[in-house]
A and B are shown apart, each in its own frame.
Chain A
Amino acid sequence: MNICILLKIMREGSINSRIMTKEKNSAIIQIENLRKVYRISSEKIYALNKIDLSVNRGEICCLLGTSGSGKSTLLNLMAGLEKPTRGTINIKGARIDLMSEKQLAQFRQKNFGFVFQSYNLLSALTALENVTMPLVFCGLDVKKRQKEAKKMLEQVGLKNRMNHRPTQMSGGQQQRVAIARAFVMHPPVIFADEPTGNLDSRTTIEVMEMMVNLVHKNRSTLVVVTHDLEIASYCDRIIHLRDGLIVNEELKHAIPAAYEKANSMIIAGN
């Protein structure tokens, strides 16, 4: 807990280190006037309404809100897992909302990585095989994909767990496998829906640190859904959602490289 607070202070102190000058140009995700309506019998549920949002390249963006506020819905719409009722979603210049299933699969493969609350690993496969999955789907040959996946698992500290199955690993380890899987293709955008929701606070820090590090290293953009303020403290931008509306947008600044180092030293020292 202490470390968390310490980190928060450190990050808040870094306001001047990086100034978002090219904000408009560097927007990787642009959402305009987004609405998602669920129809249950005759009743309309506005899960999202009038959402305007843009996320910059390299940014860690947090969707914060209580349960049922529409965070997951927004994330799923961005990832193309659902179609909006109205509005546009533009990612890397491509209109996600207009894509067919086939195009989406292709786009997801190249551009998105996913981390979920419930890990969503394939239980029949080993850690290594799970991480290899996206590489198999894009048709990489065996040698290359083995090498990439091993490298990725080493980076998440699971070098000696490669041949373990999900059931033989702890929650934190499973989520690290999922993170390795999300980053193995080095996608520009990572979506994480309550990635630490099933983890204890210690593991939560571990996992969040790891994600943040990897995002910076890969120059990826991370969109993370949470209801936890602690998690939000890792982010550059916090978007508060309530009842499907953006009620507040808080912009912070990215963590400079020096602080990253300090963070990892603290973790290691702990």
Chain B
Amino acid sequence: MKKIDILHMALRNFGRRKARSFLTVLGVVVGTMSVVVMISIGQGLNESYKEQIESWGSLTQIQVSGTSTGTDIGAGTGTSSGGTQGDQLYMDDNSVASLSQIPNVLGVMPVKNESVSLIKGKEIWTGNVMGIDLSKMALFGFKTTKGRLLEPTDKDSYVMGYMTAFSFYDPKGNGEWINPTDDQGNPVPLPFDPTTTKLKMTFDTSYGYEMSVGKPKMSKVNCVGVLKMASDDFSYSILMDYNTVETLKKDYDKTQTSTDTNGSTTGSTSGRQEKSKNKYDIFYVKVDDVNNVSTVQSAITDMGFSCWSAMDVLNQVKEQMKIIQFVLGGIGAIAFFVAAIGISNTMVMSIYERTREIGIMKVLGCHLKDIMNLFLMEAALIGLLGGLVGLGLSEGLSYLLNFLSSSGALGGMSIGSKLSVIPFWLIICGIVFPTFMGLISGLYPAWRATRLSALDAIKNE
């Protein structure tokens, strides 16, 4: 028998019992939908978390926050021989160089943090100015929402983090906080334009408060841009050239030592010596690919640094998501299993009904293989059709869920932009899997059909 004839016969039998075919297909539709929608919600949650975690810092970025063994940092006693850097790890240019050597590392950006205050009339912001290597800035994909990024020649300019722009307040008044995001977590317009507003900067972080003494030295710098919204460290800081920060800080310290007592001067110099070995506070390491982050991270750890990346969190979340997806998928799978039983049941019923027909076919010399294939084809068709319709309805339902969640109708259910995401592989699975399930469900009935006695079928009146 030709394949096309088997298909034709199967379609015909399928169409003969319309109500029953419809109900069986409906079972598969419901099964497919429950699996697809459940998994799509799992996927949606997954992607939402990913989005959120990425906003804390790019997934290909590793933060090296220091050396891991406590004795290394500032111990300084037995290791006065500064030349042997193999024994001692410091947050210095040597470490930057050796971290850059790790395979798959695109670049290392060292950062030196200093506390500063920005003054905008009565309002003050106190936080970190991050002294960075401007030549590495491009690697880390900074983007501005206003103004521009720093050029390597921008010595006396800085870029402001998004959150910083929202964090100015009047310490003496009851300043009103402006929320940096709307209800859906999207950015809102900046409360003022830092590139045109006159802002003063000082390293005296007590400026404007009651304990502030005298008139601190103001540094001459101007803002050229504001970074796009993010939740990483940069967002809560301002960014400036490393050398500029050092120079400005030195200038400021000079004015301070002249007013300070002797004791405090020596204290600060001893701290300075120790600090000089740890030239930087943080290294940002850029990795070429998300998949290499873990290996690079363990290489960094092996070298004796302590580090952290958003991938750590993402991996943890992924573990939890696996459990959630397993539960969601399991609920769907039960519906799917019931649908499979439905197909089997329909096919067995159909065989009882068609005993005579099958018998006649056998008497007329229809090969067992063809009878088997005919029933398998019918079962697979039910699966395929159910899968296709189920998938179509799932797409619709997914769209509806996303529409409802983005319009806020589902309350706090959604974390990110989409509640339900149907990736391409799920579409393929949504077609292949029900068809395959149909085939499996059809196996027993098809086998039964081939086992029917032709003679009994013909005698059966």
Q: Which residues of A contact B (CB under 8 A)?
A: 76, 79, 81-82, 101-102, 105-110, 112, 114, 116, 118, 120-122, 124, 133-134, 136-139, 141, 181
User: In the bound complex, do residue A105 and residue B368 qualify as a contact, i.e. CB atoms below 8 Å apart?
Assistant: yes
A118 to B368, CA, bound (A): 24
Task: List residues 431-461 of chain B with CB under 8 A from any CB of chain A.
Answer: 454-455, 458, 461
Query: Would A120 and B458 be within 8 Å (CB), given that A136-B1, A136-B5 are in contact?
Result: yes
Whether B368 lies near A102 (C-beta < 8 A) is yes
CB <8 Å contact, B455 and A181: no
Residues on A with C-beta less than 8 A from B412 are none
Contact: B16 with A137, CB < 8 Å? no
B370-384 CB mask vs A (1 if < 8 Å, else 0) is: 100000000000000
Q: Could you show 17 A-B contacts with beta carbons less than 8 Å apart?
A: A81-B454, A101-B368, A102-B368, A105-B362, A105-B368, A106-B365, A107-B365, A108-B363, A109-B364, A109-B366, A120-B363, A121-B360, A122-B360, A134-B364, A134-B365, A137-B364, A139-B5
Contacts of B455 in A (CB 8 A): 76, 81-82
B residues near A81, Cβ cutoff 8 Å: 363, 454-455, 458
B221 sits at the interface (CB 8 A) = no
Instruction: List B contacts of A141 (CB < 8 A).
Output: 2
Tell me the complex Cα distance, A109–B461, Å: 24
Rounded to whole angstroms, the CA-CA distance of A176 and B24 in the bound complex is 38
Contact of A118 (CB < 8 Å), options: B362, B363, B369, B461: B461
> What's the nearest-Cβ distance from chain B to residue A266, in Å?
33
In the complex formed, the residue of B with least CB distance to A113 is B364
**Chain B residues positioned under 8 Å from A124 (CB to CB):** 12, 16, 357
Cβ of B367 under 8 Å from chain A: yes
Q: Are A105 and B365 in contact (CB under 8 A)?
A: yes
Q: Is there contact, CB below 8 Å, between B357 and A122? A: yes
A16 smallest CB distance to B (angstroms): 39
Contact B367 A137 (CB under 8 A): yes
Q: How many Å lie between the Cα of A110 and that of B12 in the bound state? A: 26
Query: Could you say which residues of chain B place their CB within 8 Å of the CB of A181?
Result: 364
Q: Taking the nearest CB of chain A, how far is it from the CB of B255, in angstroms?
A: 100
The answer to whether A139 touches B1 (Cβ under 8 A) is yes
Q: A81-B454, A139-B2, A139-B5 are in contact. List 20 more A-B contacts (CB 8 A).
A: A81-B458, A101-B368, A105-B367, A105-B368, A106-B365, A108-B365, A114-B363, A118-B461, A120-B356, A120-B360, A120-B458, A121-B360, A122-B357, A124-B357, A133-B364, A137-B364, A137-B366, A137-B370, A138-B1, A181-B364
Say whether A138 contacts B363, CB under 8 Å: no
Closest to A124 in B: B16
User: CA–CA, A237 to B360, complex, Å?
Assistant: 28
A70 → B minimal CB distance (Å): 15
Using a CB-CB cutoff of 8 Å, which residues 334-390 of chain B contact chain A? 356-357, 360-370
In angstroms, how far is the closest chain A Cβ from the Cβ of B397?
Answer: 37
In the assembly, what is the distance between CA of A124 and CA of B13, in Å? 9
- In the bound complex, residues from chain A placing their C-beta under 8 Å from that of B369 are 102
Specify which chain B residues have a CB less than 8 angstroms from the CB of A122 in the assembled complex.
357, 360
Contacts of B368 in A (CB 8 A): 101-102, 105
The B173-218 residues at the A interface (CB cut-off 8 A) are none
Q: How far is the CA of A129 from the CA of B362 in the complex (A)?
A: 16
A158 to B272: give the CA distance in the assembly, Å: 112
Q: State A234–B362 Cα separation when bound (angstroms).
A: 29
- CA distance in complex: A137, B368 (Å): 11
